[in-house]
Structures are given as C-alpha cells and as structure tokens.
Amino acid sequence: MYRTHTCGELRTGDIGKQVSLAGWVQYFRQKGAVSWIVLRDRYGYTQVVFEEGRSKPELLEALKKIGREDVLQIQGEVIERYSKNKELPTGDIEILADSMVVLNHSATPPFTIEEESDGGDDLRMKYRYLDLRRPPLRRNLELRYRVSRAAREYLDAQGFFEIETPFLIRSTPEGARDFVVPSRMNPGQFYALPQSPQTFKQLLMVSGYDRYFQVVKCFRDEDLRADRQPEFTQIDCEMAFVEQEDVLRIFEGLFKDIFKKIRGLELKEDFPRISWEEAMRHYGNDKPDIRFGMKLCNLKVEGHYEAPILSSLAFKVLEEAPSILAIRVEGGASWTRKQLDELTDWVKRPQIGMSGLLHLRHNPDGSFKSSADKFLTQEVCAELGNHCSLQAGDLLLMLAGPDARTRKAASELRLHLGNMLGLRKPDEFAPLWVVDFPLLEQTDDGHWTALHHPFTAPKPEHALFLNQPEHFGKIRANAYDIVLNGTEIGGGSIRIHERGMQEAMFAALGMSREEAQEQFGFLLGAFEYGAPPHGGIAFGFDRLCALLGGQEGIRDFIAFPKNNAGRDVMLDAPAGISPEQKKELGL
Amino acid sequence: MYRTHTCGELRTGDIGKQVSLAGWVQYFRQKGAVSWIVLRDRYGYTQVVFEEGRSKPELLEALKKIGREDVLQIQGEVIERYSKNKELPTGDIEILADSMVVLNHSATPPFTIEEESDGGDDLRMKYRYLDLRRPPLRRNLELRYRVSRAAREYLDAQGFFEIETPFLIRSTPEGARDFVVPSRMNPGQFYALPQSPQTFKQLLMVSGYDRYFQVVKCFRDEDLRADRQPEFTQIDCEMAFVEQEDVLRIFEGLFKDIFKKIRGLELKEDFPRISWEEAMRHYGNDKPDIRFGMKLCNLKVEGHYEAPILSSLAFKVLEEAPSILAIRVEGGASWTRKQLDELTDWVKRPQIGMSGLLHLRHNPDGSFKSSADKFLTQEVCAELGNHCSLQAGDLLLMLAGPDARTRKAASELRLHLGNMLGLRKPDEFAPLWVVDFPLLEQTDDGHWTALHHPFTAPKPEHALFLNQPEHFGKIRANAYDIVLNGTEIGGGSIRIHERGMQEAMFAALGMSREEAQEQFGFLLGAFEYGAPPHGGIAFGFDRLCALLGGQEGIRDFIAFPKNNAGRDVMLDAPAGISPEQKKELGL
C-alpha cells in the first residue's frame, strides 16, 4: 500500500496521525530553514513541510534533487498549519515529513501544467498525457463521466436496457462515408464501422426489447471541419409502441435530470417546441439559440412582400432581391457610423456573402434615418418600423438577396449581434425542441435525400405523398431535434415499421428495388415479422458535455482526440503497416 | 400513446379498469363461442378474451385474420379470470376486448419462438431479430445489462471514473493480429482497432486519473475458434499507487458484489490464491476448475522421480517417460473394464495424444490390481497408492509421456472425469486467483515472448534478470488471473512504470531500440514525466456473463454475434465495397 490517504482528504481532525501520501510535486518552495512541497493527486493538494532541526538531515539533502512533477511517497505526521490556506480544503494542515521515497523522477515538462498552459496546440496534443494533468481537462473528463452516469441512471429507472450492437458491420453507400475494415478471412471483402447503430436498434424493437439505449462510439469518414472528430460518442435510444409525444416526454425528462445533477439547475417549464418552419422563419436556421430574442423580421420572402409598402418602391436593390430580412436591435439607434460600417464589412465577407447591409435608425425624437434615405422616406420607414415593432431608440438592420443565402446571412448576423451584445451567456441554458421537419430535401442536382435518414416515417397524413414525387417537398415527418444554445445536441424520429412504406421511401431516394434488397434486406425482412411502431433519438454526447461545461469546442472533453487532419499526434496514427500485413489482407 | 399498461403489469387490483395493451400474439385459441389471445411484450404475457354475445361481431370477424407474432393494440376491461393460471403473474385476470387494432401483421416465422426453438443455428443467425425474441436470449441480454450495471455501480463507489479511449489507433505488430482501417485522408496509411486500451489506460495513470475503468469493445483478427468473436467486450480497469494486494482486494470485492446482485450468492470467504506453479503442478493448467478435487499426483516430473519406488522398476514405458502423472478416482476401484477401456481410448484420441492409460485398483480387501501387474507389484502399488493417498476402493489413473503433453493430457482427463462424475455443476461458482505468473515464455524457435503482455513488470527481486537472458525463464511477475469454474475471466498485472525497465523488456522480447521507439515512443516518453507505480486488470465481459448465466457459450449473450467464420449472416457482412470507395482509399 503506497498511501493511507489521498492528497485531498486530510483535515484538522486528522492532526497527530501518522500518514502516507503519494502524488506529484505541484511546487517546491524554500525559505530559510524551511522547505515546502505541495503534493498533488486527483483528489487535491496537500502541503508537506521540512525544517532544519526538525527533519532528518538526509531528508533535507534528498530535497535538493526534487523537481516539479516528480512522484513522491511521503510519510509523516499531520500537523496544524501555521499560516492557513483558506483556498484549499486541506489548507488547515500540513505533513511534517518523516520519510520521502522518490517513486519516479520527471523531466521538465514541455509546458506548464496549470489552469492555463503556455503550451501550443500541437505540443499539448503530442504530450496529451501531460495536458490531461491540467485541472480544466480533469474537470472536463470528470463532468463527462458524471453526465454518462446521470444518463444511465435516468434511463435505467425508465426501464431502458443498454444493449451493445456490433462494430464490424456492412458498408452502405447511404449517408456519409464509412470507414471500412478489410477482412483477412474473406479476401476482397470489407466490414464497415457503424455511423450509428440505427438499424440495429430498430431490429431490437422488432425483437421486443421495448426500450433500448447505448452509450456508443460511432464513426464517420468526413472531411474534417474544425471541431469534428472521425470517432464520436452518441447516447443512442429507441422505444417501441410510442408516438412522438412519448419520446419527447421521456427525453425532456432526461435533460431536466442531467441539468439538475450536473449544473444544479431546476428546469421546471416544459421545453419550448417550435416547428422547423417557424425556426427557419424566425431564426434563419433549424437550431436556434433562444437565449436571446432578436427574431428575424420577414419583409419579403421568396418574392412575396410581407411588408406591402416595399412593393411600391422603385428601389432596385430591394425590387430584385427575392428575400428581405431585418433584425431589430433594441436601443441600437445610438450605434456609431463606425460600428455600422464594421457590421457591413462583416456581412460582405465571403463566408456570409451579402452585398451590403441596410440600416434604419428610429431616433429618440421619433424621426427615422436610414442608409438609403432617397428611397426609404419617413413614411416608408414608419411602416417598416411598424412591421418590425421598432421603438424609438432602436435600430433595424436589413439584408436583401437570394432566399437561402439571405436567410443564412440573417441567421449568422443575429448570432453575431448576440455575441457582440453579450446575450449568449455560457452559463445560461435554453433548450428547445424543433419539430415537424421535412422528410425529404432536394439536392442541387434535383435528387431527393432524407433530411434525417431513410428510416424516418412521414407523418401519417402525408404517407401517400411518398408515391407522388411532385409532393415530396411537402412531406413532413414526426422528426425532432433537441437544440441547446444554438447547437443541435440530439435528433430523432418516429420510424417506418412497414415493409411497403420503407420500400417506397428507398424508391423516393432513387434506390432500385435490388439495391434496397441488397443493402437493407435484413431490415425489410424484419418488417415482415411483426415489427411494432417505434421511434427514438440519439444525442451527440461529446457536444452535450462541452455545452454543459460551458464551452464550444469538444476536443478537451475527449481524453485522446484526433487533430483537425484526423491524426492522433501522440501515437502518430494513422501510419504505414508492414508488407506482410498488407499481403495477408490482400491489399 | 399506444398502451396504458404493459403485458406484465395487471393484477386483480386492476379489475374493472379500462386499459390498452400492445404486443405480439404469443398464441391464439378458440373453444366454442370463446376465443383467447395471449399477448406478449418484454414485460410478460396477458390473456385477452373474446366471446360471442359479449364481444362486438366485427371483432370476432377480425379475429379470423390474426396469426402468431402479429402486433396488436387491444382495448378493453380488466376482468377476473375464470380458470386462473398460477404460472403467470397476470394469471388471475384477463382483458375482455373492446377493440383491436392490428399494428402490423407477421409472416409465419421460420422457426418457433419458444424456450427451445426448432430452428437450426444458421437459420437462427440469419433471423437473429426473431431468435432474440425467445425468452432464453432475452434473459441473457437482460443479465448482461444487469452485470454491466452492477460493475459500474461498484466501481463508481470505489472512486473509478469511466473514461473512453480511442478506437482508431496505431497498429503494433506485438501480440495478436490487428484489424486495420485504411485512412482516406492519409493515403497508404492505416489506423488499427484496439486489441485492448492497455497503453491508454497506462497513460491515464501517468496523467493522474488514479482509478480508471471502461466497458469497452476490443478487436482481434484471429483465426476463429469455436466461441471466439472478432469483437468482444472487456471491463478494463487500472489503478495508480497500488501493489498487487490492492488490486486483488478491490476486484475480489467487485466479484463478490456481482455474485450477490446477479446470483444472490454471498461469497464470504476470501477467494483462494494459488501460484501459477502450483496450478500447473496440481491441475495441469493455469485456469483450474476447483469446483472439485482430483488434483494431479506427480509421480515423475521432468525426469525426476517424486515417487522414488518407480526409479527401481525395469518398466520401459515409465523409464522413458519424462513425466508420470496420476489422478485418484475416489471409489473408482469398482469401475468396469469397459469404462476403463473407454477412458483409454479417450486419452489416445489425437486431441489428447497419449499412447495409453495405466490404472491401478485398490480393492476393498486392501489388495491392488493394476493394468501392468508384471511391473507393478503389490509392493510398488502400495507405495504409489501411499504417494497418492489412495484408499481401499479407489482407482488410480496414470499417464506417462513427454512433460508438456502429459501435463495437458492429465488436465484434460481430470476435467473429463469431473464431467463424467457430475462434479462440474453450472450453478456452483468457485472463483480463485492464480498469481506469480512467469514474465516470459520461450517459443519453439527459442525466442522469448511476454506471457501476459510487454507492459507487465517483473517482481522487484527479479528485475535484474531482465538483462540476463539465461535467467529469463525464472522471472516471475506480479501478474494475476481470476479464474471461474475452469475459465480465465480476467487477468492483469502490476505494470512497468520506468523507461529503463520498459526498454529492457522490449529488448528481451527481441525488439530493437528503433522499433521500440517507433511503436511505443509515446509510452516511453510518458514514463519520463513522473509515471506513478500502477497496475490493473481486464475482464472478459462476454464470458463472465455466460458463466453467470450458467452456460459455456458466449454467442447467446451477444445481441448480434458473428458466426465461426467471422461473418454476420444477417447483414451478410463483410461484403464487397464499390470501386469508388476503393479508389478513394487508395486500395
């Protein structure tokens, strides 16, 4: 036994005890005849003291060779500390060292192991095992564990079973790109790593397991954007004999439970629910951040004037734009010219791609002042102001252009303004459900793809449209996303459970009968043997943890993440394999 | 909402209630004017009744189209059952159906969905989603979930954190064959799937996480033997600042907890501990089944006579055999010639490979009768009997031959006798620790390999031998296996935590300094920055569940297993991938 206590454990009640501790040297200090070491472990910090006259000479001699991050075993007596440290739970005591064993020395770490490190990203990734010693990362991984535990407890209490599904499965060309695994025993053939356990959890419903969950790794071979990982973790759930309402109720409960256990927040109200259409209209995207208002004001949409006054203007920019969207900034009439110029530059950046930003000040005296006074008369401004609930002292920002681009730009501008105005507080949590998603969306080349995935059921009243391509765009699904602070953290749907409907869905997606049978024959087959109605949801666990930790990036909530090029810098993976390995695999 | 209650829930206290149930038709019966359906879901069975005069005519009409495994929603009143079924928790009530909705029809299943199915292995694998409906499989997966939950609860209470480690890692030629994953973004390079999170959990100890666990999938591309799976689940654990005793104590506690929660067994005694050498000597293998005695009696070992009387015999068979091992069969003197002939044939099978079986009866009258009376005189027999504690009425079976083969044969014979005599009861649990394993073992070509893995530390007093190849065979490790009923269900060790010792270990295994640096540079590096002493253990979760379920095979404790050729018959995986996929991956 290396220790009798951890470094976070001793209190004044322990004074007089002989103890052993083991841990790392957090720091070392000497002042005259007295030396102190602060010893660290996962549980805390404890000060150890050495003093000429009180400590053995050989101990004082040995101290000279001690450096930061050395691993020590200390034995000694717990004594009362002379100058107490109120910041530390163990700050009232210290250990008068009687013996010290160096369990291992440490070279000087390549960066400081503190709250904030001086190490660059690449260096910290390479020495991940040292970065993981820093308190913020330790807190993140501990939070992650506590979230998984809270989720498991809740789901268990609700009668869910965790069931493991396979990792070596079959590749399907649907959706994102698969990672594949060559089979040595079946030369020329490949397994695929699952992008999600979707079809397996549906089969488990067919098998009668009723309520399934799994905290599970999934894999997607995508071109990595910042903060995407090729392997990620989902909390994956499915229920039989449910309608949308049942699913939302159960998982809203899960979130309330997690918020309470992890953040101490009691979310008493039901989560707001808005339709996909409303979300697009009022926020410009399907994952609105509702911590703040500033909904989009729709002046013109797809060529239709919602503010009729605009139709009478001979203002070419607005006439030619299919969409005109505005955002009201409360009290923004006082914004300076410089501020507005900066915003204009911001929307003109290629990532946003707008040609300009119109603005309209509603001065405190009731008058209006716009950036296009020639066209926007006081009367027009008053009418627009009225349409967008503008008050004296407010500012209206207007974007005009093609439908999709303008809506996206307005959405981005809204979030940008939210950031500027400090309205997106990391410790505020505003979850909501977005419901009634379209089943299908059309790609640029005219094909239809599934907005969620090909197993999502249309709303019963739209089921017939699945055989009517001219109505594909109208089909809505009992599909739902849970959105937190502008981030989609989960999504699901009621699934198709009838072979005929699943075949119609595959056909709508352009799959031939043979392709459908080849790739999903097992599922179509399962639907013939008494498949119950079912539905479910899956949560992005990495991102959920990051949000609960008040951060945007997921990387520091994963013990050993890949970098943005999909590499593990510490392992130097991926890497070459031996010619023998390749030969065995027939590559 | 499809149901107000599950099929396992209603009791006499519910009589008079209007309820909805949903589930599968387990069976259908008609007798005169009355029809019954037994509806099934995960939670149980409930009988539904229809009766001419009491039920609507259209309901009776609809009944004609109902078959087994159809999915129904039933509404009706809970009534008292006329002839109660004491076997069923719901057997006192039934539902008088008021309405019936067919949620889905079922084709006739290809095999019966009962306790015992009439389906063959291949058919049941292909229609796994139907096989999973059978009660034994449902019980197995439920047991599996409960074991994982019990383990997580115990480990949490002991301060362990679950931390996820990566699946896309680097291939190392050490140990078994890796499954590899070609990287599209790094053409010509490959990730590997982990055979275990071994190095990651050690890094987490270096990072100060102190107590780690993970229930995790691992992968091994081996030629499959019966009941091996290419992907399998481990409960993987590691602790810092521990000695072997600390690890055994914590995980003995885990097992006691699991036995109690899952099987209701209070294992009060400490688990027996025997050294690897004792295990080999007394049982002929390192995973002894100690539910029964019949230890091996060592008469001659590696040319050395332990029963000196044998050295004086001019009996060529025994003279030439380096090893002679015996098993005492209590009361076996009465075994017939036929029985002994069958045993002789059994040891002569190629899988056992012995040339014969000597036997020696100690008759009730005190005399001896052996199968080689010419050499084994009464005096010799008495001496041998004495050496092996033979009593009047017992039988001694003797094997003679080369060391390793004879020991293995004796081990197999002992288990065979245990089976014959009904001494290996599936509902009896006899766990033990096997300790003091050799660190290294020599292969036929003279190389040394790690018995556990290259990260296992030698016992401190043997550390110096790591630089002395002539002593490699003597090095013992603080390595331990936990064995249950003749199966190794877990193993671990105290690890190396110093760079120098790890380098010496790699060198002993024949790795060059460059190879070691290339493959394990990250670990060697980590050992330079204050690596604490640490150790751990990993359990084979699939097999543990099977044993707790009283079964030998693991396949029916896995929701979607592969067959013995590594194929998923249901998905038909592995399979070909498209030429585009291959091209993208540079294959």
Q: How far is CA A91 from CA A10, A48, A94, in A?
A: 9, 11, 8
Q: Of A114, A200, A495, A522, which to mutate for an interface test with B (greatest number of B Cβ within 10 Å)?
A: A522
Q: CA-CA-CA-CA torsion for B257, B263, B269, B273, nearest 10 degrees? A: -80
Tell me how far apart the alpha carbons of residues B541 and B498 are, in angstroms, rounded to a whole number: 31
Q: Of B577, B578, B583, which to mutate for an interface test with A (greatest number of A Cβ within 10 Å)?
A: B577
**Average pLDDT over every residue of A80-106:** 96
Written as one string, the DSSP assignment of A368-386 is EEETTTTTS-HHHHHHHHH
Q: How far is CA B195 from CA A168, B426, B489, in A?
A: 14, 30, 16
- pLDDT given at position B172: 83
Taking CB atoms and an 8 Å cut-off, how many pairs form between chains A and B? Answer: 330
Chain B interface includes A181 (CB < 8 A): yes
Instruction: Evaluate if residue B552 carries a pLDDT over 90.
Output: no
Written as one string, the DSSP assignment of B546-560 is HHHTT-S-SGGGSSS
pLDDT digit string, tens, across residues B249-289: 999 999 999 999 999 999 989 999 999 999 999 999 999 99
Tell me how far apart the alpha carbons of residues A295 and A418 are, in angstroms, rounded to a whole number: 11
Instruction: Evaluate if residue A185 carries a pLDDT over 80.
Output: yes
Chain B interface includes A149 (CB < 8 A): yes
Backbone Cα Rg of chain A: 30
The tally of CA atoms less than 13 A away on the side-chain side of residue B324 is 27
Q: Which of A69, A149, A221 sits opposite B156 (nearest CB)?
A: A149
Written as one string, the DSSP assignment of B82-148 is SS--TTSTTTTEEEEEEEEEEEE-BPPPSS--SSS----HHHHHHTHHHHTTSHHHHHHHHHHHHHH
Interchain contact, A40 vs B69, CB within 8 Å = no
Question: Which B positions 93-122 lie with beta carbon below 8 A of chain A?
Answer: 103-107, 109
CB < 8 Å to B140, chain A: none
Instruction: Evaluate if residue B313 carries a pLDDT over 90.
Output: no
B458 backbone dihedrals φ, ψ, rounded to 5° = -70, 160
- pLDDT given at position A205: 98
pLDDT digit string, tens, across residues B335-367: 999 999 999 999 999 999 999 999 999 999 999
Instruction: Evaluate if residue B73 carries a pLDDT over 90.
Output: yes
pLDDT confidence of B373, banded at 50, 70, 90?
A: confident
pLDDT digit string, tens, across residues B522-540: 999 999 999 999 999 999 9
Interchain contact, A531 vs B70, CB within 8 Å = no
Interchain contact, A573 vs B1, CB within 8 Å = no
pLDDT digit string, tens, across residues A146-172: 999 999 999 999 999 999 999 999 998
- pLDDT given at position B126: 96
CB < 8 Å to B114, chain A: none
**Considering only CA atoms, which of B167, B51, B1, B144 is closest in space to residue B547?**
B144
* Furthest C-alpha separation in chain B: 96
Instruction: Evaluate if residue B330 carries a pLDDT over 80.
Output: yes
Tell me how far apart the alpha carbons of residues B55 and B76 are, in angstroms, rounded to a whole number: 10
For residue B392, count other CB atoms closer than 10 A to its CB: 14
**Owner of token pair 């009376």:** B373
Interchain contact, B130 vs A207, CB within 8 Å = yes
Chain B interface includes A530 (CB < 8 A): yes
**Average pLDDT over every residue of A295-301:** 97
Interchain contact, A530 vs B560, CB within 8 Å = no
Interchain contact, A559 vs B163, CB within 8 Å = yes
| Chain B nearest C-alpha distance from A366 (Å) | 55
- pLDDT given at position A223: 84
Q: Pairing between strand B479-484 and A368-370?
A: unpaired
Classify B212 as helix, strand or coil.
strand
pLDDT digit string, tens, across residues B28-50: 999 999 999 999 999 999 999 99
A472 backbone dihedrals φ, ψ, rounded to 5° = -50, -40
pLDDT digit string, tens, across residues A402-417: 999 999 999 999 999 9
pLDDT confidence of A225, banded at 50, 70, 90?
A: confident
Tell me how far apart the alpha carbons of residues B472 and B462 are, in angstroms, rounded to a whole number: 9
Classify A329 as helix, strand or coil.
strand
Instruction: Evaluate if residue A427 carries a pLDDT over 90.
Output: no
pLDDT confidence of B107, banded at 50, 70, 90?
A: very high
**Average pLDDT over every residue of A496-504:** 97
Domains and CATH numbers, chain B: 12-104 (2.40.50.140), 138-273+432-557 (3.30.930.10), 292-424 (3.30.1360.30)
Q: Which of B130, B161, B204 sits opposite A529 (nearest CB)?
A: B130
Instruction: Evaluate if residue A52 carries a pLDDT over 90.
Output: yes
CB < 8 Å to B223, chain A: 185
> Does pTM surpass 0.90?
yes
| Chain B nearest C-alpha distance from A501 (Å) | 12
Classify B436 as helix, strand or coil.
coil
Q: Which residues contact A580 (CB under 8 A, 6 or more apart)?
A: none
Interchain contact, A219 vs B133, CB within 8 Å = no
B220 backbone dihedrals φ, ψ, rounded to 5° = -145, 120
Tell me how far apart the alpha carbons of residues B131 and B114 are, in angstroms, rounded to a whole number: 9
Type and span of the H or E element at B401: strand B395-401
Instruction: Evaluate if residue A227 carries a pLDDT over 90.
Output: no
Task: Report DSSP state, residue A143.
Answer: H
Instruction: Evaluate if residue A174 carries a pLDDT over 90.
Output: no
Instruction: Evaluate if residue B223 carries a pLDDT over 90.
Output: no
- pLDDT given at position A176: 85
Its ipTM equals 0.95
Interchain contact, B574 vs A168, CB within 8 Å = yes
Q: Which residue intervals of A36-120 are DSSP H helices?
A: 57-63
**Average pLDDT over every residue of A100-118:** 94
pLDDT confidence of B423, banded at 50, 70, 90?
A: very high
| Chain B nearest C-alpha distance from A50 (Å) | 22
- pLDDT given at position A261: 97
| Contact (Cβ atoms closer than 8 angstroms) between residue B451 and residue B439 | yes
pLDDT confidence of A312, banded at 50, 70, 90?
A: confident
Chain B interface includes A379 (CB < 8 A): no
| Contact (Cβ atoms closer than 8 angstroms) between residue B195 and residue B175 | yes
Interchain contact, B138 vs A188, CB within 8 Å = no
**% residues pLDDT > 90 (chain B):** 90
**% residues pLDDT > 90 (chain A):** 90
Chain B interface includes A9 (CB < 8 A): no
Q: Amino acid identity, residue B371?
A: S
- pLDDT given at position A332: 96
| Contact (Cβ atoms closer than 8 angstroms) between residue A228 and residue A566 | no
Alpha carbon B2 to chain centroid, angstroms: 40
Burial A303-322 (b: 16+ CB within 10 A, else e): eeeebebbeebebebbeebb
Please tell me whether the peptide bond between A574 and the residue prior to it is cis, using omega within 30 degrees of 0: yes
- pLDDT given at position B225: 75
Q: Of A66, A571, A581, A582, which to mutate for an interface test with B (greatest number of B Cβ within 10 Å)?
A: A571
pLDDT digit string, tens, across residues A381-401: 999 999 999 999 999 999 999
Instruction: Evaluate if residue A173 carries a pLDDT over 90.
Output: no
- pLDDT given at position B228: 87
Task: Report DSSP state, residue A61.
Answer: H
pLDDT digit string, tens, across residues A535-581: 999 999 999 999 999 998 999 999 999 998 899 999 999 999 988 88
**Considering only CA atoms, which of B298, B148, B169 is closest in space to residue B216?**
B148
Interchain contact, A224 vs B190, CB within 8 Å = no
CB < 8 Å to B128, chain A: 203
- pLDDT given at position B312: 87
pLDDT digit string, tens, across residues B120-148: 989 999 999 999 999 999 999 999 999 99
The tally of CA atoms less than 13 A away on the side-chain side of residue A72 is 31
**Average pLDDT over every residue of B480-508:** 97
**Average pLDDT over every residue of A448-475:** 95
B258 backbone dihedrals φ, ψ, rounded to 5° = -65, -45
Tell me how far apart the alpha carbons of residues A241 and A211 are, in angstroms, rounded to a whole number: 10
Chain A interface includes B28 (CB < 8 A): no
Interchain contact, B43 vs A200, CB within 8 Å = no
Tell me how far apart the alpha carbons of residues A81 and A55 are, in angstroms, rounded to a whole number: 16
Instruction: Evaluate if residue B201 carries a pLDDT over 90.
Output: yes
CB < 8 Å to B558, chain A: 164
- pLDDT given at position A9: 96
Interchain contact, B530 vs A24, CB within 8 Å = yes
| Residue B367 backbone zone (phi > 0: left; psi -120 to 50: alpha; other: beta) | beta
| Chain A nearest C-alpha distance from B41 (Å) | 6
